[in-house]
Structure 1
Amino acid sequence: MAKSDIRVLALDLDGTLTNDEKQITPRTRAALDAALAKGVTVVLASGRPTAGVTPVAQDLALGQPGRAGAILSYNGGAIVDCGPGHRVLWHQDLPAAMVPALCDFAAQQNVAIVTYNSQGIVTERPEDPWAQREGFTNKLPMIKVDNLAAYVNYPVNKMLITLDPVRLPHVLKAGLERFAGQIDLYSSSPFFIEAVPLGVAKDRSLAALLDRMGLTRDNLMACGDGMNDRSMIRYAGVGVAMANAEGPVKAEADYVTTADNNHDGVAEAVERFIL
């Protein structure tokens, strides 16, 4: 593929764009600045809520003149333009009945469950150490409510079960059996189970975005490290896995970086395929 063919760069955040301290390193920032200057649209594609991705977009000045960008949040549940007005370009919400059903399931399993509002992360168990990891990653406050199912009277793109990694396989299996054919459940880390609408994935929302832009998958490069990145890496014209990616993710990639997320793996890919 000619380098000039890549018009959109989709980047997972945690374990990909940011290092383990959740920072963008200078070399990676310089590579993204150069790609933006060439007219490439940067899409921050994350499982985080929109509010948890927004500070990264602001740090990169996405949406400023000459710096086209978008936020793909909730693993593809929503895409928001970073430009003026922050237009919602795509969204898919959980069926309303799933909110109390998921809360009931979490209570039966004695695990924490969270969702989001415009201020932060909403949960009945803000002291849960695994839930607090979501707060740390997103740099959002934990908001305690007495009854999460009753509190959520607005559309949500996803809910997140947080739990001890030792319990995850059992709880995920039970959830898959209970909610089969209703929603999608999958593990996005050793201590998180994502609950999203059926069919929500990064590739599907990226396809919708490319269609709006009059582009195709051949114009897309996607970089990631986690299992929830496989669909966009498989879909992209150039799919890139970080050196620190899980084995099945690397198997989907056209290119695996020699450097991990702590050593400018994204910069390596951008320099090779775009600059």
Structure 2
Amino acid sequence: MNPKIAFFDIDGTLIDFDAPSLSPAVADALRRLRAGGTKVFLASGRPPYLLPKVKGLAFDGALCFNGAYGFDRKGPLCSAPIAKTDIRRMAENSERMGVPVLLAGAKTMGSNFYQKNLETYMSFAGHPNHVVDRETFQHLMADDIYQVMAGTWADQDAALLAGTAGVQPLRWWDWACDIVGKGSDKAVGAEKVLAAYGLPREACAAFGDGGNDKSLIAFAGIGIAMGNATDDVKACADYVTTPCSEDGVAAALSHFGWI
């Protein structure tokens, strides 16, 4: 029996890091999955305005900002912005450390200054590290911010988060990280989406490759890790498919008889 809903990470899962978009085989597999009655949701660290658009393929909804903000075609399903006191403290720490932070809201984003690591990190989503002037950055800090991207190495995270009370780093790349509110991750977001549809977790499947996918893969009724996933992600999975570069999503959907 097909899952009622399936959650898909984007980078390294649906789209290879060196590719501009989904491969034709993966796009066709998702179309066939939807045609069989499964809701297809994206589950990414990306904001809504950086989700992929594929001709002839519609998504039923998305979890953005690593689960902090979710929506379907009718509107929002979950929303957990970061406390503004924590946003201010991270911005202060950023200035002191000389490490930029990029604040991402539901409609726009901007960083306080340039850094090559953060520029490369944002390029995976096809978006530049958009540096804004101080006044614009202050306006951003007053908005609802769901995720902060920072060009830190893991051993710098503690200094950036010093004095905060309600945030946590989620890392899938060595040179930068995503920061979301404590209690926000892809599994928490997926649980809220399932509740909105009246579905148990056993009715969902999830696909991912990075550290920020571990909770979702472990939570799902069937959790599937990509062949290019790290060993700790694979250890959480019920099944390990082929790498993203070899159309692993399509291979897994075929393996389970869902397409």
**How far apart, CA to CA, are the structure 2 residues paired with 1:47 and 1:199?**
15
Greater shift after overlay, 14-23 or 231-240? Answer: 14-23
Whether the 8 Å contact between 1:187 and 1:194 is mirrored in structure 2 is yes
- The reply on whether 1:170 has 2:155 as its aligned counterpart is yes
Q: Number of residues paired by the alignment?
A: 255
Partner of 1:66: none
Partner of 1:230: 214
**How far apart, CA to CA, are the structure 1 residues paired with 2:100 and 2:131?**
13
State which of 64, 77, 99 in structure 2 corresponds to 1:111: 99
Gaps in structure 2 of 5+ consecutive residues: none
RMSD: 2.0
Greater shift after overlay, 96-105 or 241-250? Answer: 96-105
Q: If the length of structure 1 is used for normalisation, what is the TM-score?
A: 0.86
Counterpart AA for 1:28? V
Q: Deviations over 1:146-197 (max 9, x none)?
A: 256522221111111114xxxx132123345543x42212323112222211
Q: Deviations over 1:212-239 (max 9, x none)?
A: 1111111111000000100010000110
- The reply on whether 1:25 has 2:14 as its aligned counterpart is no
Q: If the length of structure 2 is used for normalisation, what is the TM-score?
A: 0.91
**How far apart, CA to CA, are the structure 2 residues paired with 1:177 and 1:123?**
19
Evaluate the alpha carbon distance shift between residue 72 and residue 229 of structure 1 in structure 2; reply closer, same or farther with a 3 A threshold.
same
Counterpart AA for 1:112? P
Evaluate the alpha carbon distance shift between residue 59 and residue 133 of structure 1 in structure 2; reply closer, same or farther with a 3 A threshold.
farther
State which of 76, 84, 92 in structure 1 corresponds to 2:80: 92
**How far apart, CA to CA, are the structure 2 residues paired with 1:57 and 1:89?**
21
**How far apart, CA to CA, are the structure 1 residues paired with 2:56 and 2:84?**
35
Counterpart AA for 1:128? Q
Partner of 1:130: 117
**How far apart, CA to CA, are the structure 1 residues paired with 2:194 and 2:105?**
28
- The reply on whether 1:47 has 2:36 as its aligned counterpart is no
**How far apart, CA to CA, are the structure 2 residues paired with 1:192 and 1:248?**
19
Partner of 2:62: 71
Partner of 2:147: 158
**How far apart, CA to CA, are the structure 2 residues paired with 1:175 and 1:140?**
23
Q: CA deviation at 1:203?
A: 0.6
Q: CA deviation at 1:62?
A: 1.9
Evaluate the alpha carbon distance shift between residue 226 and residue 8 of structure 1 in structure 2; reply closer, same or farther with a 3 A threshold.
same
Whether the 8 Å contact between 2:47 and 2:105 is mirrored in structure 1 is no
Gaps in structure 1 of 5+ consecutive residues: 64-68
State which of 7, 24, 45 in structure 2 corresponds to 1:10: 7
Counterpart AA for 2:5? V
**3-state DSSP of counterpart to 1:187:** strand
**How far apart, CA to CA, are the structure 1 residues paired with 2:15 and 2:56?**
12
Whether the 8 Å contact between 1:124 and 1:148 is mirrored in structure 2 is no
Whether the 8 Å contact between 1:103 and 1:148 is mirrored in structure 2 is no
Whether the 8 Å contact between 1:57 and 1:71 is mirrored in structure 2 is no
**How far apart, CA to CA, are the structure 2 residues paired with 1:177 and 1:116?**
20
**How far apart, CA to CA, are the structure 1 residues paired with 2:121 and 2:109?**
8
Partner of 1:260: 243
**How far apart, CA to CA, are the structure 2 residues paired with 1:192 and 1:158?**
13
**3-state DSSP of counterpart to 1:234:** helix
Q: CA deviation at 1:89?
A: 1.1
**3-state DSSP of counterpart to 2:45:** coil
**How far apart, CA to CA, are the structure 1 residues paired with 2:95 and 2:144?**
21
Evaluate the alpha carbon distance shift between residue 91 and residue 119 of structure 1 in structure 2; reply closer, same or farther with a 3 A threshold.
closer
